[in-house]
Amino acid sequence: MSNSMDDVAKYAQAFFIIGSNTTEQHPVFGTMLRRAVRFRGAKLVVADPRKIDITEFATLHLRQKPGTDIALLNGLMYIILEKGWEDKTFIEERTENFDEFKATVMQYPPEKVAEITRVPVEQLYEAAEILASSKPTAVLWAMGITQHIVGVRNVMDLANFQMLLGNMGKPGGGVNPLRGQNNVQGACDMGGLPNVYPAYQPVTSNEVIEKFGKAWGTYERGKKKEESDSFIFHLSSKVGLTVTEMIPGIPEGKIKSLYILGEDPVMSDPDTNHIRHCLESVDFLVLQEIFPSETSAYADVLLPGVSFAEKTGTFTNTERRVQMVRRAVEPPGDAKPDWWITSEIAKRVLFHLSSFDEGKGERRRIDLEAPWAKWDYKDTSAIMDEINALAPSYGGITHARLEAEERLQWPCLTVDHPGTPILHTKQFTRGKGKFMPIDHVPPAERPDDDYPMVMSTGRVLYHWHGGTMTRRSQGIMQVYNEALVEVNPDDALKLGLNGRDRVRITSRRGSIEAKAWVTERVPPGMVYANFHFPEASANELTHASLDPVAKIPEYKITAVKVELA
Amino acid sequence: MINIKINGQPIQAEPGKTILQVAKEHDVHIPSLCYHKDLNPTGNCRMCVVDVKGGRTLQAACVTPVWEGMEIETNTEKVMQDRKLTLELMLANHPQDCLTCDVAGDCELQDLAYEYKAEVPAWGAKGTRYAVDSDPNPFIRVDMNKCILCRRCESACAEIQVRDVWGVSSRGFDSVMVAGAGVPMLEARCESCGQCVAYCPTGALSNKMNYGVARAHQVRKVTTTCSYCGVGCQFDLQVKDNKVIGVHSNPNAPVNGMALCVKGRYGYDYIHHPDRLVKPKVRRYLLEGKQKSDIRETIFDTRKSNIELSNVGSPWAWVETEWDKALDIVAKKVAETRAKFGADSMGFLTSAKCLNEENYLMNKLARQVIGTNNIDHCARL
């Protein structure tokens, strides 16, 4: 998020929620938005094919056809330009490439947009007026925007939207993607991505490689003293594979072994049958988990890690706020903190690699004299010291400061830096904000005669992702104990559901049977399914069409047929 | 600023503030029950009454704004008697079961009864009026016999959760809090966030999952960050005998204050679920020095049942080992794979459920030790 949650809740005059089921997926933030609408009179425009709960509080609900977000946004921006509602000063002073962008937007007059999106022209005008006349408007989104083959383009168009209205770098405005998992922000920040080291330092940069090479001791020194600047660094400058490439890369022979920490690809990745096939063919799979999962059936080694209640360290939330996690209880049995397990594996692998001198593989030499080469951490605070030294935006975020109840949001460069609640206040990371001309592209898999309906996927309030945790929570299972598939009453009538409640949903890749929830939450022609229960997981049906840049799968649009089960 | 006097002490106060707010700022204790700083004051319990010079009756401090020249007495005999009577009226209609009540020791009514030495009057109501544990909600235990009609639950639901589940039904002595139009909470569209429980000053609304497990003074509190979504709510884990037995709001939580959702407040019992992995496990073939390629066809033969595969003798059966053994097997395999197929033949999936520090180490393992950038996590999924 460019802004903070309390900031947008307090200062936004309007919210534009597109592709976020906020009250179910970020429930406490959802209540902050409800409060802003009810008690402060903030306006709310929701754009979502589904009648999600927060639409009850909406000034206006746009029910666009799935996969037409760009057309919708361009249509709104067309009206804003037509009416002269854009922020001319902001565009002039803080942005570039406006003319090229404008030429594209001008291809999206309201009538054409209404045809593509099925949102009536009057509603387009109404929405544009609310969002342009409320200063500032905060844009909020989640996976409904990103899980498309045009995920990156969707996000860029939202950035265009906020630059056009001059809502960037201001309290109550900004571009605000809501991060899903408790520490997905932190996993990205810490270099858990194939293209960047911690704090988004690119793997392709020689400077970065040299920095980490020297810190981690992954180099060979020049033979003579005077050659000491001629290091050879053994860090890869090749961008790695994403999760959506790694697992499908197994049968292709690209990937031979996998080390998975706290993740359940059989439940969470698209096209489960194919994932199973891939995991069957891997040479060696190490899974570090707190529970046996659907994926553990394919693991060669299962290592017992611990839950958040059994370890101390930090999580980073969706607004870049770093907060302490504290050990409350002892781990069960022989389970160990995950940082300990990874360190032990690292130490032992280094020992083995040093003995593979003559093997085919490249010899791994680590200079243990280098400042951060070693793996002998006594606790996570010692690991944070290393992060402070190597990840600039975390430079000043120490356990000591957090324990002293300092509230820190990165970037926080030094120990006396107060942190940064709002990004891009003076300028963008690249200097001027660049408008990008973005065109509508239809989704990868469209309904046809064989698979006439559209399925979208996501979570529900009561469950969490693959369900490993929440399916083991007694009270939660009392309230929600099996997968429910949302079916529109019109479709239920056509199906002849007539009191029966089981449906079979089939895509080109698989089939599931689940209980139908007949509800107007979904429009006719659309069903909504979750992936919380292995016996009826939506991911049996989804497909691995990826955004070309972000490699994110198009979970939100799968062509399916629905029958009585 | 305006000038007022509290108990004869001249005080400068901000206009628009209530007597209770100004008194709190100046460390003058005025008891309250229905008042909570997060909620709009309703002035209905009358515990915070004070004597305002010139006033016809005692005034509720939580809803009376200060004015220039106001003179307030907070602890005269009249005020103390009035508050005591208010308490006695509540106790007259409240079960006398503090000995077994779950919230004893964490009950604002109990604390005030103690402070004011209020006894249960002889003329009090006899017996219970409502079913105990009357709502099927799996998280929230409802016992309206203990309700003092402070209506904090109603305010918390309307003002914090903005869901409007609670309201008052009937009049006078028959007044009672109901969900919706007197239906089970979930039918009244309750989201089971437990905000009403967190704000309830008595045992009328309590947590069902740990009912009878521990009282406030028997638990240790550990402030931590939630493990579910990216909002990053903080709360206090309630710990007894090395077990997390509950989650309580921590009013100082930076993001959420007292608010939590159903998963954060009530989805904690997975922590101690019997399925937890407690020992490293390896497939038998690894201990027998076999190669996976030799046994792959047998193990992934779909005609074989899981039971058959997990037979002790099967090469694919799990064998529990010590850490040393498991870690050595992993390290040796990883080193071998790297030697044979190169660093980029290995993939690392780190975890958005784990700590920053742990994610950093996964990045270091992939990049420093192995030398590959094949590292990712579920951000895309």
Q: Do A246 and B374 touch (CB under 8 A)?
A: yes
Give mean pLDDT, residues A16-30.
97
pLDDT value at A356 more than 60: no
Give the minimum alpha-carbon distance from B372 to chain A in angstroms, rounded to a whole number. Answer: 6
User: Residue B363: is it exposed, middle or buried by C-beta count within 10 angstroms (0-12/13-18/19+)?
Assistant: buried
* Distance (Å, whole) CA A557 – CA A455: 6
Q: Is residue B204 part of a domain?
A: yes
Residues of chain B in contact with residue A332, where contact means CB-CB under 8 angstroms, are 272, 276, 278
Q: Which of B237, B271, B305 is the last residue of a domain?
A: B271
Q: Which among B138, B261, B363 is the nearest to A198, CB-wise? A: B363
Q: Is residue A99 within a helix (H) or strand (E), and if so which, with residue range? A: helix A98-105
Number of domains in chain B: 4
B276 → closest Cβ in A244, A246, A291: A291
The secondary structure of B21-52 as a DSSP string is HHHHHTT-----SS--TTS-----S-TTEEEE
Which of A234, A323, A347, A401 would you mutate first to test chain B, the one with the most B CBs within 10 A?
A323
The size of chain A, in residues, is 565
Q: Of B364, B365, B372, which to mutate for an interface test with A (greatest number of A Cβ within 10 Å)?
A: B364
Indicate whether B290 and B366 sit together in one domain: no
Tell me if B335 and A349 make a contact (CB, 8 A cut-off): yes
CATH topology identical between A184-246+305-409 and A453-564: no
* CATH fold label, A5-178: Dimethylsulfoxide Reductase; domain 2 (3.40.228)
For residue A358, what pLDDT band results from cuts at 50, 70 and 90? very low
pTM above 0.90, yes or no: yes
Size of interface A-B (CB pairs under 8 A): 499
Question: Cα-Cα-Cα-Cα dihedral of A344, A349, A354, A357, to 10°?
Answer: 170
- Residues B182 and B287 reside in one and the same domain: no
pLDDT in tens, A494-550: 999 988 889 999 999 999 999 999 999 999 999 999 999 999 999 999 999 999 999
Tell me if B344 and A240 make a contact (CB, 8 A cut-off): yes
Q: Which of B342, B350, B381 sits opposite A268 (nearest CB)?
A: B381
Residues B265 and B299 in one domain: no
- A334, B323: Cβ pair inside 8 Å? yes
Q: Do A344 and B327 touch (CB under 8 A)?
A: yes
Task: Check whether residue B23 and residue B52 sit in a common domain.
Answer: yes
* Domain residue spans of chain A: 5-178, 184-246+305-409, 453-564
Question: Is B331 close to A197, i.e. CB distance below 8 A?
Answer: no
Q: Residue A297 has which token pair?
A: 């059936």
B277 vs A: CB within 8 A = yes
* Cα–Cα distance for residue pair A15/B110, rounded to 1 Å: 44
Give the domain range for residue B305: 277-341
Distances (CA, A) of B128 to B94, B131, B132: 8, 8, 8
Interface with chain B: mutation pick from A245, A257, A399, highest number of B CBs within 10 Å: A257
Same domain, B212 and B159: yes
Which of B211, B241, B271 corresponds to the end of one domain?
Answer: B271
Residue A563 has pLDDT above 90, yes or no: yes
CA distance B30 to chain A (A): 29
CB contact under 8 A, B371 and A236: yes
Task: Classify domain A453-564 by CATH number.
Answer: 2.40.40.20
Interchain pair A322, B255: CB under 8 A: no
What's the confidence (pLDDT) of residue B293? 85
Same domain, B312 and B349: no
CATH code of domain A184-246+305-409: 3.40.50.740
Whether A334 has a pLDDT exceeding 80, the answer reads yes
Find chain B residues with C-beta within 8 A of A56's C-beta: none
- Provide, as residue numbers in chain B, all residues whose Cβ is less than 8 Å from the Cβ of A405: 252
Instruction: Look at residue A464 and give its three-state secondary structure.
Output: coil
User: Mean pLDDT over residues A314-333, rounded?
Assistant: 97
Retrieve residue A92's tokens. 């002039």
Nearest alpha-carbon partner for B341 in A252, A235, A360, A300: A360
Give B201 to chain A, closest Cα distance, Å. Answer: 22
Band of the pLDDT at A409, cuts 50, 70, 90?
A: very high
Task: Write the single-letter amino acid at A347.
Answer: K
Per the CB < 8 Å rule, is A352 touching B223? Answer: no
How confident is the model over A277-306, as a mean pLDDT?
Answer: 96
Residue B116 within a domain:
no
Average pLDDT value for chain A: 94
User: Is ipTM strictly over 0.90?
Assistant: yes
What per-residue confidence (pLDDT) applies to A361?
47
Cβ atoms of B189 and B165 within 8 Å: the answer is yes
pLDDT of residue A359: 46
Residue B36 belongs to domain with CATH number: 3.10.20.740
Residues of A in contact with B346 (CB under 8 A): 255-259
What is the torsional sign of CA B341, B343, B349, B350? positive
Rounded Cα distance between B273 and B7, Å, is: 56
User: Looking at the structure, do residues B19 and B45 belong to the same domain, yes or no?
Assistant: yes
Q: Is residue B287 located within the same domain as residue B368?
A: no
Do B216 and B328 fall within a single domain?
no
Q: Are residues B200 and B291 in the same domain?
A: no
A379-401, pLDDT tens digit by residue? 999 999 999 999 999 999 999 99
Q: Which of B222, B251, B271 is the last residue of a domain?
A: B271
* Segment 289-328 of chain B within 8 Å of chain A by CB: 292-293, 296, 300, 306, 318, 323, 326-328
**Ranges of chain B whose pLDDT falls below 50:** none
Return the axis-axis angle of helices B356-364 and A338-354, rounded to nearest 10°: 10
Same structural domain for residues B133 and B203? yes
CB contact under 8 A, A192 and B376: yes
How close does chain A come to B20, measured CA to CA in Å? 23
The answer to whether residue B173 neighbours chain A at the CB level (below 8 Å) is no
Neighbour-count burial of A196, counting CB atoms closer than 10 A to its CB (0-12 exposed, 13-18 middle, 19+ buried): buried
- Whether residues B134 and B200 fall in one domain: yes
Picking from A193, A338, A464, the nearest residue to B376 by CB comes out as A193
Mean pLDDT of A107-133: 98
User: Where does the pLDDT of residue A231 fall: very low under 50, low under 70, confident under 90, or very high at 90 and above?
Assistant: low
CATH label of the domain that carries residue B247:
3.30.70.20
